[in-house]
Amino acid sequence: MNAANTSFMILSSILVLFMTPGLAFFYGGLVSKRNVVNTMLSVFIMTGVAIVLWIVIGYSLSFSGDIGGFIGTVKNFFMNGIDLTSLTATKIPTGIFAVFEMMFAVITPALFVGAVVGRIRFNFLLVFLVLWSVIIYYPMVHLVWSPHGILYGLGVLDFAGGTVVHINAGVTAFVLSAFLGKRIKFGDIPHTHYNLPWVLLGTAILWIGWYGFNAGSALGVDNIAAQATITTTMSTGTAMVTWMILDMIINGKPTLVGVCTGTLCGLVGITPACGFVTIAGSFWIGMFSTFASYFFVNYLKDRIGVDDALDAFGCHGVSGIVGSIATGLFATKAVNPIVAHNGAFYGGGWHQITVQVVATLATIVFVAIAASIIIKGLSLVMPMRVDRKEEELGLDQGEHGEEADYTVEMSKDLDEYRSDLNLYSKEFRGQLGGLDVPKDPRLH
């Protein structure tokens, strides 16, 4: 094995894994206090479920064999028969390649959780995840990244998951939201974010993890990984500033939620293109992605009437679509010799942009139809949405019997408030000798 490449891929796998708890903090900070535990658990449980699924059947369906260029076979059930020590083209063990791809199978379904928080039954979401992985995600991986895949053969450029991850998760989020219907308290969400520092923390973790996502997709330490690192950084910085400026011009003030959302749009937009474009290309992709997502979230979403609670489609779907198509404009052989046809802005004509549009539309149509069928079929055997009483109570209590914040708010619950200092004041007298602690008459 190549020790440098293998070390890099292990680190990249860990970074991509780190993104999922980061996303849990990002989404958990955005929702109302009643749904924090449910949101974070719904994201984080994807990790365990997706890991087991990937080992049992996912790797085999994605990369082993081929059925019509659409999906693999199950001949390597539980990864049986795969030589984990055999080396790939970049001299990393197949086992490490499988782990790296596994982390993509973890983060992708976690993305669409943001669309349905506060109203979907946890049990329904779990079963949906399993069916979605087998029917939608593994075929998408095979179509785009397996040498046998139809879209791969077409020549689609998707370096790190524009179609496979972001458009896929975004469209799934949109379809789930449409079937679920609007929240009871739809409209009051902008004023009920649970914890804005968590949103920033989650964004920072996602950005850090994204280097594993994008640079790691080079599958080794080389100039392409270096290029993916710098284009990812440029696009993200551009997007962050773009969203803030739009907020300042249109709403009169910058917001932390806006800056964090813009940051994610830049990361999403550059994902399919990061190993194929110049720094200048990444600047424009970051800007275009953010413009598109900003205007969708702020103007189009309400007109369409689909209640995507945390803008999973508005961010991942829209920026993913823009990034995927823009790859056909900005891709260049000068950055990556694997590019067979330069993008339109580099003298390549319409060929690559046409391929990117076809692949993007094919992804949207396939995911929308397949997700609708899964939801419709699953709804026949189990309820999809919590009842009105549970939705008003909050899913933290209704689904899990837990709360995000166990601290007692003194202003509301003075009669119930009893600190150790008050209850056991005699025991504390030694440490507090000489301190005159005034007693609050309301507490005694």
Which pLDDT band holds residue 404 (cuts at 50, 70, 90)? Answer: confident
Residues in CB range of 87: below 8 A, 6 or more apart: 1, 93, 94
- What is the H or E stretch that residue 13 is in? helix 3-30
Mean per-residue pLDDT, 170-184:
95
Q: Residue by residue, what is the 3-state secondary structure of 192-230? A: CCCCHHHHHHHHHHHHHHHHHHHHHHHCCCCHHHHHHHH
CA-to-CA dists, residue 70 to 167, 185, 186, 201, angstroms: 18, 41, 39, 38
The predicted structure's pLDDT at residue 435: 58
The predicted structure's pLDDT at residue 277: 98
Q: What is the mean pLDDT of the chain?
A: 92
The predicted structure's pLDDT at residue 136: 98
pLDDT value at 443 more than 60: no
Q: pTM, whole model, 2 decimals?
A: 0.90
Helix, strand, coil abundance in the chain, percent, nearest 5: 70, 0, 30
Burial class (CB in 10 A: 0-12, 13-18, 19+), 151: buried
pLDDT tens digits, 80-114: 999 999 999 999 999 999 999 999 999 999 999 99
Out of 70-84, 147-161, 218-232, 414-428, least confident range: 414-428
Which pLDDT band holds residue 189 (cuts at 50, 70, 90)? Answer: very low
| Burial 227-245, CB ≥16 within 10 A → b, else e | bbbebbbbbbbbbbbbbbe
| Cα–Cα nearest to 142, from 113, 163, 117 | 163
pLDDT tens digits, 25-63: 999 999 989 999 999 999 999 999 999 999 999 999 999
DSSP codes, 359-398: HHHHHHHHHHHHHHHHHHHHHTTS--B--HHHHHH-HIII
The predicted structure's pLDDT at residue 414: 46
Which pLDDT band holds residue 413 (cuts at 50, 70, 90)? Answer: very low
pLDDT tens digits, 283-297: 999 999 999 999 999
- φ/ψ of 87, rounded to 5, equals -100, 145
Which pLDDT band holds residue 405 (cuts at 50, 70, 90)? Answer: confident
Domains and CATH numbers, the chain: 3-400 (1.10.3430.10)
Share of the chain above pLDDT 70, in %: 90
For tokens 């008050």, the residue is 422
Q: What are the tokens at 121?
A: 């039954």
DSSP codes, 267-310: HHHHTTTTTTS-HHHHHHHHHHHHHHHHHIIIIIHHHHT---TT
Q: What are the tokens at 252?
A: 């009169």
Residues in CB range of 136: below 8 A, 6 or more apart: 168, 172, 366, 367, 370, 371, 374
The predicted structure's pLDDT at residue 190: 46
Q: What are the tokens at 183?
A: 């929240």
The predicted structure's pLDDT at residue 439: 60
Share of the chain above pLDDT 90, in %: 85
Angle CA 159–62–271, to nearest 5: 20
Which pLDDT band holds residue 438 (cuts at 50, 70, 90)? Answer: low
Between CA 235 and CA 408 the distance in angstroms is 43
